Each structure stands twice: as structure tokens, then as C-alpha cells.
Amino acid sequence: MINPEQAAGAALLLRLALGVMFLAHAWVKVKVFTPSGTAQYFKSLGLPAEVAYLTMAAEIVGGVLLILGIETRWVALALVPLMLGTIVLVHGKAGWLFTNKDGGWEYPAFWIVGLLALALLGDGAAALGPKLGLS
């Protein structure tokens, strides 16, 4: 049996963890690799450079919205294709383990599971969306 009060706390923890991880990944792209370096990397994958900027924007906006608990279900679902893209375009060819050279696909796959679980759970505790009439 699920305790609704504990489920709300669990959703909050998952929401915060996923949001912080998206912001951390965006920060690496912006501050370490730089936006232009990230764009060059995306071009090396055969993607238009603009996809790099859209990815960084999705990670930043999605991360902030998850942390704040605004439209949590929709944001979580919207970020799934981004993570699927990392598997298909980058990590899938490196095998299963993320410790493999170029990282495998286990970590992005687990991230997808977390996003889907959050989409099923909803906002959880301390979410601003319901207070603003947005969830």
C-alpha cells in the first residue's frame, strides 16, 4: 500500500534530483565545454549546431521547472526524448555500462526511468505549480 504523504515526499526527492542533474549537465555544456564547443560536438555527431543550443535550453528550463514543481508531469515526459537521443546518438554505441569509453547507455536509460516514474507520481510535495494553478 502506498502512503500518500510518503509518496509526495518521494516525488519531491525525485523531482529535485532530476532537476539538479539536468542543471548540472547544462552547466558542464555551458561552462566547461562552452556553448560553441558543445555545438561543434553536436555537429561531429551529424546534428545541426542548433540542436546543441536547444539541448542546453531544454536542460536548463526543464531542470528549473522540475525543481520548482511546475508542470512536472509534462516536463518529465518532454525530457524523455532528449535522453533517448543521448542513447541513440551518443551512448548506445558504447555498450551498456556508463563506465565504458564514451559512456554506455545505462545511465541515460535509468534517467528515463526516473523521468517516467516522476511523470506517474506527479508534482509531489512543495511544488509551486499547483499553487500557481499550473498543474
Domain ranges (residues) in the chain: 8-124
pTM score: 0.94
8 Å CB contact between 115 and 76: yes
> What is residue 135's predicted lDDT score, i.e. its pLDDT?
66
Mean pLDDT of the chain: 95
Residue pair 109/92 in contact (Cβ under 8 Å)? The answer is no
Q: Which pLDDT belongs to residue 21? A: 98
- pLDDT tens per residue, range 36-45: 999 999 999 9
Sign, CA dihedral 37-80-131-134, equals positive
| pLDDT tens digits along 56-108 | 999 999 999 999 999 999 999 999 999 999 999 999 999 998 888 888 899 99
